[in-house]
Amino acid sequence: MEEQYINLYKQFNGQIKAHSAPALNASRDASFELFEELGFPTSKLENYKYTDLTEPLSADYGLNINRVKIPVNPYEVFTCDVPGIHSYLYFVLNDGFYPVNDKRNDALPAGVIIGSLSEVAKSNPELVEKHFGKLSSKQKDGLVAFNGAFAQDGFFMYVPENVQLDRPVQLINIMRSDVDFMANSHNLIILEKGAKAQLLVCDHTMDDVKFLTNRVTEVFVDESASYEHYKLENTHVKTTNLATLLIEQKQSSSVLTNFITLHNGITRNNIEIDVNGEHCESLLCGMVIGDKKQQVDNFTSVIHAKPNCHSTELFKYVLDDVAKGGFTGKLYVARDAQKTAAFQTNKNILLNRTAKMRTKPQLEIYADDVKCSHGATIGQLDESAMFYMRQRGIPEKEARLLLMFAFTADVIENIRIDALKDRIKMLVEKRLRGELSKCEGCVICK
């Protein structure tokens, strides 16, 4: 399985590098060597035991290492916006940043840089060199190493000191290809002291072929900065979506991540937060609505290295048919991280005997003055609540829907963009009603 990619790299690494940038190439060979050593993760590894990637990784995908232009303009075909969100809008088409031609983005405050990672690596090398790979190179993970070897571009965002973006930034990942296709991209996000930004990442697929995406995102959140990362996945069943989000938090910073998977094939989200400063807030949320053969595995890791920080995790899954879910909540509290408060909740509803959920809290606590809790439940809808509602004249189907919607409500409450919150409520309701929750007005989704 790995062999073809190893040969590909050996044969074409010159071209891969030629179509990227020096800052990204600096660690490329090292990443490749690590990948040679690790290979792709298998379900024999503790961290991957809930998701078997053998089948999707065995498919024969095309890669676009020579950066051949894709004949599609996302600005023309993509009108799938969240109404009223008024975002700064950007696209990654397959594995590369798509050049911006949106006038709405002209309103970006001075000093903010948003663009192609490989372009910025040439125009502002110092910015990229200082941060690129700082978190990902520490990962002993086959997928991250593979990304380090093959990713040539991605989304870049820099928010200078004390600049607070008034509107959310929206990044749309679009997959477009006539043949089975793999995309590796690397995103880099830097928030300087006191900066504030909200990023909404939407994953979409356009063609009826197999897609595999392996994306790594590194985020640096400096002192007193505030960062929100929303990932909304609405892809087709032939998609394998592998996403690694690595965040480093400095003192008094605040981070919110909210991963919502409404429709997909196989999804693996790695969310790792390094809390590397005192008085930080970290809130990790997620929701999965899965049916048929959907698979979603959220692997989270929060590392408390410094004292007086607060982290909360809240993940909820509703699974039907033969859908499979996985959740890991890894928490590490270092010996010096006294007064850490860390709470973790994973609740799951299985609507059917054949649906499967595996959940695992994994707490390693080396400090003695901490407050940590974890709770995981797997159950069915509350029968007594069902009867109570039916006794008031609400039909069984509607009562089930109200209960499922109520179940996901607290995750939705943790969306701090009002327009997005309303949209997600609507999408979740449609999804739970069994209608396809594809964005209305979206050409690609039709």
Partner 1 sequence: MLEIKNLHANINGKEILKGLNLTVRPGEVHAIMGPNGAGKSTLSSVITGNPAFEVTHGEINFYGKELLELAPEERANEGIFLSFQYPVEIPGVSMVNFMRTAINEQRKYRGQEPVSATDFLRLMREKKELVEMDNKLANRSVNEGFSGGEKKRNEIFQMAMLEPRLAILDETDSGLDIDALRIVANGVNKLKSPENASIVITHYQRLLDYIVPDFVHVLYDGRIVKSGTKELALELEEKGYDWIKQEVDGK
- Considering the complex, state which of residue 360 and residue 400 has its C-beta at the smaller distance from partner 1: 400
Span interacting with partner 1, options 98-106, 128-136, 190-198, 391-399, rule CB under 8 A: 391-399
The least distance separating partner 1 from the CB of residue 287, rounded to whole angstroms, comes to 13
User: C-alpha angle with apex 418: 412 to 228, nearest 5 degrees?
Assistant: 70
CA 178 to chain centre: 25
Which residue in the set 278, 382, 422, 429 belongs to the binding site for partner 1 (CB under 8 A)?
382
Q: Identify the CA nearest to 196 among candidates 252, 154, 243.
A: 252
> Does 366 sit near partner 1 (CB under 8 A)?
no
Tokens of 208: 């009826």
Amino acid identity, position 23: A
33, 166, 321, 398: which one binds partner 1 (CB under 8 A):
398
Q: Which of 405, 425, 429, 442 binds partner 1 (CB under 8 A)?
A: 405
Ramachandran bin of 238, using left for φ above 0, alpha for ψ from -120 to 50, beta for the remaining angles:
alpha
Beta-carbon contacts of 235 under 8 Å, excluding residues fewer than 6 positions away, are: 175, 203, 204, 205, 211, 241, 263, 264, 265
E strand or H helix that includes residue 316:
strand 310-319
Kindly state the smallest distance separating residue 404's Cβ from partner 1, in Å: 10
Min. distance of Cβ 402 from partner 1 in angstroms?
A: 5
Based on the shown chain and the rule CB under 8 A, indicate whether residue 402 belongs to the binding site for partner 1. Answer: yes
Stretch near partner 1 under the rule CB under 8 A, chosen from 83-91, 150-158, 259-267, 407-415? 407-415
What token pair was written down for 167?
């509107």
Instruction: Say whether residue 407 binds partner 1 (CB under 8 A).
Output: yes
Report the residue number, 245 or 314, with the smaller CB distance to partner 1. Answer: 314
Q: Is the dihedral of CA 315, 218, 184, 445 positive or negative?
A: positive
**385 binds partner 1 per the rule CB under 8 A:** yes
- Which position among 59, 372, 403, 442 is part of the footprint of partner 1 (CB under 8 A)? 403
- Check residue 375 for interaction with partner 1 (CB under 8 A): no
Q: How far is CA 429 from CA 53, 403, 432, in A?
A: 30, 11, 5
- In whole angstroms, how close is the CB of 225 to partner 1 at the nearest point? 32
CA distances to 60, 134, 400, 401 from 389, in Å: 51, 53, 9, 11
Contact with partner 1 (CB under 8 A): which of 33, 321, 396, 418? 396
Q: Which has the closest alpha carbon to 297: 321, 317, 274? A: 317
Q: Is position 422 an interface residue for partner 1 (rule: CB under 8 A)?
A: no
Q: Which residue lies nearer to partner 1 by CB, 385 or 436?
A: 385
The distance of closest approach from Cβ of residue 317 to partner 1 in the complex, given in angstroms and rounded to an integer, is 15
Interface with partner 1 (CB under 8 A):
382-385, 387-396, 398-399, 402-403, 405-407, 409-410
